[in-house]
Every structure is written in C-alpha cells, then in structure tokens.
Structure 1
Amino acid sequence: MTDFLDEFAAYEAKHGQPDRIELLLPDINAIHRGKWLPGNDAKKLVSGAVRLPLSTYAPNIMGEDIPETGLGLAIGDPDGIMMPVPGTLKPVPWADGHVAQVQCEMGEDGETISDLSTRGKLAAMVDRFAARGLKPVIASELEFYLLTPRETPEEAPCPPPHAPEAQNYELNVLDRTQEILTEIQQACAIQGLATDSLIAEYGPGQYEINFHHTDDVLEAADTAVLFRRLVRGVVQRHDMEATFMAKPYAEHPGNGMHVHVSVADESGNIFRHGGDGCGGIADTLGFAVAGVLETMAESQAVLAPHMNSFRRFAPGSFSPNLPDWGIDHRGAAIRLPDTEGPAARLEHRIGGADCNPYLAITAILGGVLYGLDRKLPPPLPIEDPNWEEPAPLGHDWRHAVDAFAASAFIRDIFGESFQHIYATLKYDEIAKLTSEITTAEYRVYLGRL
C-alpha cells in the first residue's frame, strides 16, 4: 500500500495537492459509494484507518441493507478497511475546485479483498484464463441518453431541444451538442479513459461511445464504470441530465453495453484462423459462441439486472431477444464482426448499459471459457437456410433471477455465497417495484371496472 503514497506523490508533483480525494467503491449495482478524504490526508488511506461497513458492497438499488442477504446488522455490520486500487488516482475535471478520485476495494484485514467485490469476481475470471495460458481481450461500447433537466425524480424523460426522432449517425446532432461532447472527451483524456469513436445513436438525444480494445480486462471494466460517472458529472455542469437506464423511452431504442471479446495465447488470437467449423469459422471461435449462447439465459440477471432492463427484450424491440448468432448480423445476440486475422472476435449484444460491467464481463468471459473447455459445437448461424429459431430469452425479470439462483454455471463463476446475495437483492427489488400500482392501471381500470 506504500505504492499508493508514491502514486500520490507523483500526482501532487504533476497537479498539486487536491482539496479532497474522493474514495470510490462500486457496489453490487456498480453505484459508487465511499467517502471524501482531505487532500492532505492521503497517508490515512494506507494506514487502515479509513473504513466502511462491508455491507456497503451489497445494498439494494435503493441503497438499503437487506437482512436476508446475511449481511448488515444480521452479523453486526462489521467494518472493512478501504484499500486504494493501484493506478486509479485521477483528477476530477468536472468538479469545483481541485478534486482527485481513486477507486477502492475493502477487506477485513486491509490486504485481502472481500468476496463481495464485483471487481474481484472479474479478476478471478481473468486468473482462470491465465491458468490455461490464455488472455482475454475485450472492448466495450456504451449507449446513453442526454435529457432536459427534470423537476422531480418521478417525471418522465424528455429529449434535448431540436433532437430528431431518429438521429441515426447524424453529424448535425453532434454539432449541436459539441460543447458537452467535447468536454466529455476532454475529461476522458484527463482521466486516461481509452475512448475511441463517439456517434449519435438512433434515439433522440442518444449517443454511443466506443472504447479501445485491451488485454487489461480489469481496466476495461473500470473504464466503463468510471465513464458513466464522468458523463453524469460533465452533463450536470451544462444543466442537462444523462442516463444509462436500459429503456428510458418505450418508443425509442434502449441503451446497451456491447462487449467485443477475443482470446489470445502465446501465438496470438486463437479465434483468427478460419476453418471447417460451423459457419466456416475457427473451431475455437465456434466453441466460444456456443458457450456464451448456452449460458446466456442463466446470465441474463446480470446482463439485465433491473425491472426496466427487461423492456429491451420485448418482441419487436431494437434489441436481440433470441440466443442466436450470425456473421456481421446486428439482429443477432452474438455478432461476429470479423472471423479471420487478428481482429477475429465475437460481439455480445445482450447486456444493457445499466448493468454492472464487472459482473456482465465476468459472465460473458465465463461463457466463453465454458464453451472452450467443453469444445461445444455452436448451433447453425442465423444466415443458414436450415437455421431454426431457438426459444427466446426471457422477458420476465423474476424468471431470470430464478434461473440465476438455480444455475450451477453461475455458482461456479461467482461462488455460492455471492450467488445467494445477488439473487436475494434482486428478489427484494422485484418485491418493492412490482408491488407499486402504475398510473396506467389507474387510467385504464379504475373508472371502468
């Protein structure tokens, strides 16, 4: 942990002493929790003196402790010691004054990271690949909407002024929001987030950011989590709102998080060689495709973690709702943009922008490894004339959580305790949100029945 003091000294030499340090702890829903530390008190973070309850990792989406998880007051709500993640000390350019941020983990002894850490789950999955002499390489894409500011949290979203109903890569849209988008890109550069292209997506006020591919999977997931915080911070300074909610508008496309995956060994990308396998792709790529398809339904509760997430899977929506695959086919759940050469990869298109990237990427990589280990043959691609439509993915939240809770695959990659905690939190979220009577029910039923 003395490495953090060296990192902090280098930060001070470049930027000066910050007014405060924001300690960021992503919880089970990838919502940042933590503390503010005075900028002259960095030593406190490495002394074990900065603590939070370990249950901070696992509240429900509303921020409440749920006793049925076995955490919180059920066990006395013990503290964990906050530990900085090396290499994550960054300026916060959208904040007033000089503010720094650093990602943190927690553990009981100040050395071992808690089993509740979702980032730790992804690290363990990367270790599984390493044990086989393999290294996953990923890139993600995130979609989000800009909104006019709302008066109350209950108010429906409204697009920015003059936003067309279908933006669809329109450059004029980028021009009109240039000030905000440029500031987002500048903030990414300051924080070292490896962003690539930025486009106007289909929906009114919707945008997509692409991140560079990397074999540092943890950094890629960190980037996705930190980008969501960055966008909200920058946009707020312009008196706007931003949301990564999966489906903010019923009539417009939802926000997805697509993940591109390849796998390398000492000789390079193992998906790169075309072959005689299904669809003419490399056998290894076929195995990976089969693995993510076979585990997709069990993983859906982390790829689509909330009630609103499942609106993306409605029939006729813009999102794939079948566990299928195709060659450069954007209507398929698994798209293969390239099948030969160093760029050979699969694109997993099921996850929503509202997911926890650590958990979603863990589940996706777990599916890849599941297929590789078992040499699973893939089903026919969607372009094949003999293709038969598979059973659709569920559009029922509870059924998805039931599948997650009963899954041996999920238990293997996340552990039995985490599986129980996550499912318990989701059942609580289901109970709280589905018990509310909607205004639509009052409008249609109250005066007629």
Structure 2
Amino acid sequence: MSLFQTEFDEFCAAHGTPDRLELMLCDLNAILRGKWLPADSIDKFETGAVRLPMSTYAPNILGYEVEATGLGIAVGDPDGRLVPVPGTLKPVPWAENQVAQVLVEMTDHDGLISSVSPRQVLKTVLKGFSARGLRPVVSTELEFYLLEPRDEPSDAPAPPWGSPDAQNYDLEVLSRQETVLNDILSAAEEQGLPTDTLIAEYGAGQFEVNFHHTDDVLAAAETGILFRRLVRGVAAKHELEATFMAKPYADMPGNGLHVHASVLDRNGNNIFAAEEGVGETLQHAVAGVLTTMRDLQAIFAPHMNSYRRFQPGSFAPSAPDWGLDNRAAAIRLPETSGPGARLEHRISGADANPYLVLAAVLGGMMHGLETKPPLPLPLDDPDSTPATPLAADWTTAVERFAASDIAARIFGEEYRDIYAAVRRDEIAQLTTIISPMEYRYYLSRL
C-alpha cells in the first residue's frame, strides 16, 4: 500500500469519503493549477496516469506559456506525472459537496521532481542549511482585504459596508465581520493551518493573520499558499471578495507578507541569541538579507502592482535598512536574546510566492553567514545615513534579478532565467495596455 493510499484511508476515516480530490500544483506565481480527480481513481497516482504539462510550473500571470522559458511547445510540451505532497491532503470546508484537496508536484520520466518547482527551489536552500548542521525556524504574517462583491473584474474595489477609514486594531471591526472571520479561522483549524492571532489592520476592510513559528519551513510556505485559497473560498460563501493583491487601494496600506526567521544549531540552540546587544551571528544574517535585497526584489515584489508599495508615503518599508523593534525598517529585530532572537523581513507583498520568498530570505541569511558583509548602522542611530531606496519600478527590479549572481546561487541559474523570462513577458504584455486614466486625461485634450 502506498503512503498516499494510507493517508487517504485515514482521511476517509476522519472526514468521510470525498466526492473528488482537487489536485493543486503551485506555479511560479503561487497560482494553484491542476485537476479534479474522482475519489475512486486515486490509484492512477500509482500508475502515473495523472499528468499535466511540465510548463504548468511557469505560465505568466495571464495563464499563457512563455516561449522564452524554454518550456512548453518549444520543446514539445512534455507531460509530468503528478505525485501528492505528503501531509497536504485536507478537507475543503467551504465547498458545496464533500471535497478534499492535496498539493501535488510533477516528476519527469526519471521520477525526479522538476527543478522548476517552487517547492523544490526552497528544498534546495534548506539542504544548504542542513549540510552545515543548521535548522531555520520561521513564522509568517499575512495581510488581506475583504471587499464588497464587484459586478465586473475591472471594477475598483470597495471595503465592506460600514468599514471605518482607519481600522487600526479596532475590535468593533472584528465583531462586525465576526461571522466570516470565524469561518476563516474554523476552516484553517479544520485544515490544520497553524493560525495564531488575527487583527484588524489599518486599511478599511484589511486584516492580518499571524501563524505559529515552525522548523518545518516547507509547511510554513504551504500554509501561506493554502490560506490564501481558503480566505477567498470562505469570503465567497459570505458574498464577499478577498484579495492578497499588494496594493488594492492607492491611499491605504498595501498587503504584506512578513517573515520572522531564526536559526538553530545541532543542539537546538538559537545561534542568533546574545546576552547583550545584537549578537555577531545575527548581525551577519541581517547584513546578508540587506546586501541581497536589491537583487532579489523581483521575488519580494513580483507584479506590476507590487511596486505601488515602494512609492513615497505607501506605509511600507522601501529601502534596505534595519532597526531594533522599528516597523519603519525593512529588517526589524523584535528580540535579540533568548530563544526568541530573530529578524523580521518586512519587504514582501502578500502577492508573492511564499516558497520563493522564504528561499530568498533564508538564502540571503546564509549569504551573510558565509561572507560576513559589513552591516550599516541601524535606522534609529543618529549617525546613520539613509539607505538608497529600492527600485520603484518593475522593469528595473526584474533586470537586476536577471543579471544577479546571488540570485543564480540561491535559485539556480536555470530558475533565475525562467523567472526573469516570465516577468519580462508580463511586462511586455501588461505595460502596453492603455489605461482608462490615459483616455480620461489625454484623449480629448491632446
């Protein structure tokens, strides 16, 4: 009996036999693509009969394959065999029928998982820590907006009726949205997603969920991916929309994906902990994520809309700087002593791929531990010099990533080039669309 068959039998004993399994493959953009599989056909996993084109790992955000990646029809668009990711078989509480979902990967004809899998990219980074006897511990915070339903996809968003302009930890807002928020938390519990606190964030209709820290970094990434699907599904049942778009409103805060990270040695000791001040090892890790931040910005801010978070007055950190418990900094140090010593990486948008974000953050930390680059003065030091802001436009960030040696080291040269090819294709398609604003202000005046 296969491991998945055992997992499926245990699932059926706990939840009943589902009508179908939703097979979910995480692509480069963290869009879940896949198939519905009847529950009585799971034996097809064993025979390799459940397949998708290998190019499904790297379409653009519009859903089209990108010829420049070297995947797709250019090489005959070969299939990969779908294999379940152990431990990800979960119920779908918001579905109308009895439904289960499972994350899947694709293997090639040699039975190897594709190197263009975002999950595989993160696994490679983690192997580098393991080879040094180190074990990262991470937790994430994810922000999202609830919206009134829209008639057309191109309509502007609007917060739920009665939302204050600035919620800012408002408990009454939580009470007003108690039904949908409770269903979100209940669904997360049913799926085993380790939610911690939930707050009303600053923006109208904006909320943030924190997840418990874990040394299972792959599971932490999967939690972020599955939670985004869950929130949208539950919100739809309540006749609302939900979005993790980086900046849905120009005049309100964007949605972030914050990462807390520390590292344990073979004995389970936090290598960042210091008896006084900021320990030398933590300094190296901070310097590493700062020196790699520009090259990896295209990971933290993957889309055209992402760069609205890097404009002046956008509420988000926009330069590679750091500080002690300073939320204006890109890297915040909430604690520097004891088991809680860690850094908080605050640059990523909630629209980013959690697998790739964690690979970039941890890869930057490892770069710092290995090369020990100089650490600038903290943001709140009176003698510090303001850091040069990160790129405020998509093209600059993508081209820097495409030429980056550190991006090739962390992600592999093949994946770096595929990622850059997809982004270049999106830039070519999306930046050539003439916006309604241009028609409004130019068409009748020029």
**Mapped partners of 1:167, 1:229: distance in 2:** 24
Q: 2:305: which partner in 1?
A: 308
**Mapped partners of 1:368, 1:423: distance in 2:** 22
- Deviant stretches of 4+, over 6 Å: none
**Mapped partners of 2:54, 2:253: distance in 1:** 37
Establish whether residue 44 from structure 1 lines up as the match of residue 41 from structure 2.
no
| Residue identity in the other structure for 1:218 | L
Contact 1:137 1:216 in 2 (8 A): yes
2:399 to 382, 402, 406: 402
3-state DSSP class of the match of 1:295? helix
3-state DSSP class of the match of 1:298? coil
3-state DSSP class of the match of 1:394? coil
1:364 to 361, 364, 368: 361
Q: 1:222: which partner in 2?
A: 222
**Mapped partners of 2:433, 2:51: distance in 1:** 36
Show structure 1 runs of 5+ residues with no match. Answer: none
| Residue identity in the other structure for 1:232 | R
Contact 1:165 1:203 in 2 (8 A): yes
Q: 1:331: which partner in 2?
A: 328
Contact 1:81 1:110 in 2 (8 A): no
Q: 1:321: which partner in 2?
A: 318
| Residue identity in the other structure for 2:273 | R
Kindly report which structure 2 residues correspond to 1:362-441, keeping only aligned pairs within 5 A, or say none: 362-441=359-438
Please say which of residues 260-269 and 143-152 is displaced more in the overlay. 260-269
Q: 1:103: which partner in 2?
A: 103
C-alpha displacement of 1:163: 0.3
**Mapped partners of 2:240, 2:380: distance in 1:** 43
3-state DSSP class of the match of 2:227? helix
Establish whether residue 346 from structure 1 lines up as the match of residue 343 from structure 2.
yes
The Cα offsets for residues 85-138 of structure 1, whole Å up to 9 and x where unpaired, read as 111111111101110011100011373110110011111111100001100000
C-alpha displacement of 1:266: 2.3
**Mapped partners of 2:418, 2:425: distance in 1:** 11
C-alpha displacement of 1:415: 1.1
Contact 1:82 1:110 in 2 (8 A): no
**Mapped partners of 1:77, 1:214: distance in 2:** 38
3-state DSSP class of the match of 1:140? strand
Q: Return the TM-score normalized by structure 1.
A: 0.98
Show structure 2 runs of 5+ residues with no match. Answer: none
**Mapped partners of 1:112, 1:377: distance in 2:** 40
Kindly report which structure 2 residues correspond to 1:193-272, keeping only aligned pairs within 5 A, or say none: 193-267=193-267, 268-272=269-273
Contact 1:168 1:201 in 2 (8 A): yes
**Mapped partners of 2:111, 2:346: distance in 1:** 36
The Cα offsets for residues 49-81 of structure 1, whole Å up to 9 and x where unpaired, read as 100000011100010011111111100000000
3-state DSSP class of the match of 1:302? helix
Contact 1:246 1:254 in 2 (8 A): yes
**Mapped partners of 2:293, 2:46: distance in 1:** 40
| Residue identity in the other structure for 1:60 | N
**Mapped partners of 1:226, 1:145: distance in 2:** 16
Q: Return the TM-score normalized by structure 2.
A: 0.98
**Mapped partners of 1:404, 1:310: distance in 2:** 15
| Residue identity in the other structure for 2:393 | D
Q: 1:134: which partner in 2?
A: 134
C-alpha displacement of 1:15: 1.6
Please say which of residues 258-267 and 341-350 is displaced more in the overlay. 258-267
Q: 1:89: which partner in 2?
A: 89
3-state DSSP class of the match of 2:261? strand
**Mapped partners of 1:380, 1:366: distance in 2:** 22
C-alpha displacement of 1:9: 1.0
The Cα offsets for residues 218-255 of structure 1, whole Å up to 9 and x where unpaired, read as 00000000000000000000110000000000000000
3-state DSSP class of the match of 2:40? coil
**Mapped partners of 2:388, 2:203: distance in 1:** 28
C-alpha displacement of 1:274: 3.8
C-alpha displacement of 1:83: 0.4
Contact 1:83 1:110 in 2 (8 A): no
Q: 2:113: which partner in 1?
A: 113
C-alpha displacement of 1:445: 1.9
**Mapped partners of 1:226, 1:319: distance in 2:** 25
Q: 1:55: which partner in 2?
A: 55
C-alpha displacement of 1:13: 1.4
| Residue identity in the other structure for 1:300 | Q
3-state DSSP class of the match of 2:437? helix
C-alpha displacement of 1:428: 0.7
2:292 to 292, 295, 300: 295
Aligned length: 445
What RMSD in Å do the two structures reach over aligned CA positions? 1.0
C-alpha displacement of 1:34: 0.4
**Mapped partners of 2:339, 2:135: distance in 1:** 14
3-state DSSP class of the match of 1:120? helix
**Mapped partners of 2:28, 2:320: distance in 1:** 26
Contact 1:48 1:110 in 2 (8 A): no
**Mapped partners of 1:364, 1:322: distance in 2:** 15
**Mapped partners of 2:287, 2:64: distance in 1:** 38
Contact 1:145 1:206 in 2 (8 A): yes
**Mapped partners of 1:235, 1:354: distance in 2:** 18
**Mapped partners of 1:47, 1:84: distance in 2:** 13
Kindly report which structure 2 residues correspond to 1:266-281, keeping only aligned pairs within 5 A, or say none: 266-267=266-267, 268-275=269-276, 280-281=277-278
| Residue identity in the other structure for 1:294 | T
**Mapped partners of 2:13, 2:238: distance in 1:** 31
3-state DSSP class of the match of 1:86? coil
**Mapped partners of 1:177, 1:46: distance in 2:** 44
